[in-house]
Structure 1
Amino acid sequence: MNNSEHLSQHDITVEIELIQRHEIEMAFARLLKSDVKYHFVVDMQATSWA
């Protein structure tokens, strides 16, 4: 059983904060200050690394 299956079987949800690539440094700064309530997820579809 993988992690996703375990979470769904036990009706556990995860809340995230979706960020863009230009917000990554801000996200790290917030991590250092313990100012994070949710998991950060970088929106890769909206991100152009070129």
Structure 2
Amino acid sequence: GIRAGDLVKKACEASGGSGGGKPDSAMGGIKDPQLLGAAFKSAAQFIKEKLG
């Protein structure tokens, strides 16, 4: 499975932010809203890699 904390951390790091959490809940933030697309793209790639 995919841990929520790992997913949020990966997404936020791709856009210059930070995040993390537990397996079933997570929180994160990014500094530049214009990088939100990069965060979503990173999250999608992370999910694809994990689910293969």
TM-score under structure 2 length normalisation: 0.23
Larger helix fraction of residues:
2
Question: RCO (CA 8 Å, sep 6+): is it higher in 1 or 2?
Answer: 1
TM-score under structure 1 length normalisation: 0.24
Larger Rg: 1
